[in-house]
A and B are shown apart, each in its own frame.
Chain A
Amino acid sequence: EDKVVQSPLSLVVHEGDTVTLNCSYEVTNFRSLLWYKQEKKAPTFLFMLTSSGIEKKSGRLSSILDKKELFSILNITATQTGDSAIYLCAASYYGGSQGNLIFGKGTKLSVKP
C-alpha cells in the first residue's frame, strides 16, 4: 500500500533554532513530492520537488528530495513564531487519479518566543 510517513509528528523549538522535518514515501509510479504549510485554515503551497538532489529554497525554508532513498527534508533556519504550523508532505504519482496526492499526517511545529 502506498504511504507517506512524516517525522516527528510534533516538535517544539525556540525562536532562532533550525529545524529539519522529515518525509519518507513508498509510492508506486512516484511523480513528485510536495510540501505545504497549514496554519489555521487551508494548506498553502511551499515546494514541489521532482528531481533528486536539487535544493529548492524560499527565504529561510529549503527542501531537497532523495529519490534513491525515498525521502525528503524541509529545513527552516532561524525559526520565528510565525513558522508555527502543521507542515504537510504529499507524494503525487503517475496514472490513477491524474495527479492525486497521498498526504502524510503532518508535523506540528511550535516555535516558542
Chain B
Amino acid sequence: NAGVTQTPKFRILKIGQSMTLQCTQDMNHNYMYWYRQDPGMGLKLIYYSVGAGITDKGEVPNGYNVSRSTTEDFPLRLELAAPSQTSVYFCASRLGTNYGYTFGSGTRLTVV
C-alpha cells in the first residue's frame, strides 16, 4: 500500500496563476482532508470530504476548491494564487472517526 500520495512535492507559482494539488489514497478511506501548515502555526483545515461526492469547507477555505469524484482522489484547486497561500499543504485520510489520520508527505508551495 502506498498510503496517501501527494503531488507535486514542491511548486513555485506566480501571483494569479492556478494549479491543482493532487492527493490519492489506496486504503479505501472515506474521510479525506486538506490542511495547510504555516511556520509555528500548527495545521489549519481547508476542506474535507466524508465520501465520494461530498465535500465541505473547513476553517480556511477561501481561495481554494475541491472535488471528490472517487473514493481515492481528493484534489485541491488554487485559483488566482496569492502570496498568502505560500504554505505547506498536507492531505490526510482516515478510515473512520475512531481512527488516526494518515498524512501525505506534503506539498511545499511558494507564491511569488
Contacts and interface: CB of A to CB of B under 8 A. Distances in A.
B100 interface: yes
A101 B104 CA distance: 16
Interface residues of A, number: 23
Interface stretch (A58-66, A75-83, A103-111): A103-111
B13 interface: no
Contacts of B56: 97
B45 A100 contact: yes
A101 B105 contact: no
A16 to B, nearest CB: 28
Contacts of B42: 4, 88, 103-106
Interface in A90-106: 90, 92, 97-101, 103-106
B36 to A, nearest CB: 11
Interface of B: 4, 31, 33, 40-45, 48, 50, 56, 58, 90, 94, 96-97, 99-106
Interface of A: 4, 9, 31, 34, 36, 41-45, 48, 88, 90, 92, 97-101, 103-106
24 contacts: A9-B40, A31-B97, A34-B101, A36-B103, A41-B105, A42-B4, A42-B103, A42-B105, A43-B90, A43-B103, A45-B102, A88-B42, A88-B43, A92-B97, A97-B48, A97-B56, A98-B31, A98-B48, A99-B31, A100-B33, A100-B45, A101-B43, A101-B101, A103-B42
